Amino acid sequence: MDIRDDRPHLSNILATALNAADEFLEPLDQRPAALRPSSPEPMALPEEGCGGRGAIELFRRRFEAGLSGSSGPRYLGFVTGGSTPAALAGDWLAAAYDQNLSNDGDSIATTVERETIQLLRSLFGLGDDFEGVFVSGATQANTVALATARQWAAERLGVDVAQDGLWTLPSIPVLGGTPHASILKAVSILGMGRGCVEHMACLPGRQAVDPQALAARLEALDGAPAIVIASAGEVNTGDFDDLVALGELCRRHGAWLHVDGAFGLFAACDPDKADLLRGLDAADSVATDGHKWLNVPYDSGIVFTRHLEHQEAVFKAVAAYLGAGPDLLHRTPENSRRFRALPAWMTLMAYGRSGYRELVSRCCRLASRLGDGITASEHYELLAPVHLDIVCFALREADGEGERDVERRDRVIRRDRVINRLLDDGRVYLTPTVFDGRPGLRAAFVNWRTGDEDIEVILEALDAAVG
Ligand SMILES: *Cc1c(COP(=O)(O)O)cnc(C)c1O
């Protein structure tokens, strides 16, 4: 059909979408947290379309029942936020307004992104010397930060990588205790190679780097440039590197400090946890996610750096029709940029500092309550202390068990059986992990909907999954 024929139906179509969203979100707490539906027969591209309303109805008939309650209260896999009411409205409006935030000068929208960055700096307690920009998630934020660090490191070796590439350079070491998988992806994308990442020893019983091990490695580099990756919120246990110690080491040895705070940066919101981030100001770059603890819809990450000139050297896009001003497209991989800041701006204005203080401290309290439940359980035991909002645990085992290969395989099978039973049960979704050689499970609390009442349900479901 002619697209223009749908124009008179626009508000009707939006009302249909609103109704669909309402019918999905209202009973979200009862929807299975995750499910494994079978896929319907694929449809061919229609010659004549069915119009906006028809497409919504067709989608709902074919796919809606297969959507998970991942934005609901008991999807605890990965680190998965939901979408606050204000953030959801902001995201809808971002699509309705459909601004391109590449250049200043043709819309106020870039001003909104800059204002949102300032709100986030204030939320995280970051100084004004951190320039920030929205990207699609923390993987991309880590990639932008590492590209900027790469430009800086190569410059110290006399090479402009953005211009001349990496071809003449020695490998640039990237050092960290527990770098997230996205760091390895980033160095692969950037041509530095996964092999440049060196895993430093961690402190005993911790997922935090041993500063002495890092000091020894930096010493051995004898002034050659290095990039240090600090975890502010390690993904299995929520452990934190000591940013004060790492910052001092980086200053002493002239290394770049990047802090991956995809979810852990939100510790800044809770006065009881903020200390975990002491030393953050010494970072050269910081990455975080909007679509985790900020609870905005997917497609939201933020990168902060104190080296805008290096960042722009990498990402500048030069063409006669593009501005040469301080436009945001010169800071990110994208040229055309979605109005990603709007859902973040909406939720920050709607709930303010106190809203996020309450959310972060509630999530930490819930994690600690689940941790207590696990400790008291006859079936499960904690694999690590609960540092923040993540609970890492495993099926309980007798002393001395698990030494032999056959026992190790058996433990994976038993753990996977629990995960499958939880999936069939539907009340709770958890993702597997391996911690310290032991197959385990992890539960991450970041969703605004999750409450104390959910802890009982989670513990019940976990008990029912054993057997
Ligand atoms: C989730 C996460 C990432 C990657 O973020 P995406 O939003 O999935 O791109 C990076 N680092 C840490 C510590 C994370 O938890």
Gap from CA of 168 to ligand 1 centroid (Å)? 31
Position 69 pLDDT exceeds 70: yes
* Average pLDDT of the chain to the nearest whole number: 96
CA atoms within 13 A on the CB side of 432: 17
Q: Which domains does the chain have, with CATH numbers?
A: 88-347 (3.40.640.10)
Q: How far apart are CA 344 and CA 116, in angstroms?
A: 7
Q: Is the CB of 465 under 6 A from ligand 1?
A: no
Position 467 pLDDT exceeds 80: no
Gap from CA of 354 to ligand 1 centroid (Å)? 25
Q: What does each C-alpha distance from 183 to 132, 141, 280, 312, 387 come to in angstroms?
A: 19, 10, 19, 21, 22
Position 232 pLDDT exceeds 90: yes
Position 159 pLDDT exceeds 90: yes
When pLDDT is averaged across residues 282-289 and rounded to a whole number, the result is: 98
Q: Is the CB of 266 under 6 A from ligand 1?
A: no
Looking at 14-23, 148-157, 360-369, 402-411, which range is the least confident one? 402-411
Position 401 pLDDT exceeds 70: no
Q: Is the CB of 176 under 6 A from ligand 1?
A: no
pLDDT of residue 448: 98
When pLDDT is averaged across residues 439-460 and rounded to a whole number, the result is: 98
Banded model confidence at residue 375, pLDDT cuts 50, 70, 90:
very high
> Which of 70, 80, 142, 180 to probe ligand 1 with, by most ligand atoms within 8 A of CB?
180
pTM tops 0.85: yes
Q: Is the CB of 131 under 6 A from ligand 1?
A: no
Nearest CA to ligand 1 atom 3: 138
Q: Which residues, 6 or more positions from 362, have their beta carbon under 8 angstroms from its beta carbon? A: 450, 451
Nearest CA to ligand 1 atom 14: 262
pLDDT of residue 407: 80
> Which of 78, 80, 139 to probe ligand 1 with, by most ligand atoms within 8 A of CB?
139
pLDDT of residue 403: 67
Ligand 1, residue 264: give the atom nearest the CA: 13
Q: pLDDT tens digit string along 79-133?
A: 999 999 999 999 999 999 999 999 999 999 999 999 999 999 999 999 999 999 9
Q: pLDDT tens digit string along 182-208?
A: 999 999 999 999 999 999 999 999 999
pLDDT of residue 408: 83
Ligand 1, residue 231: give the atom nearest the CA: 13
Q: pLDDT tens digit string along 287-324?
A: 999 999 999 999 999 999 999 999 999 999 988 887 76
Position 402 pLDDT exceeds 70: no
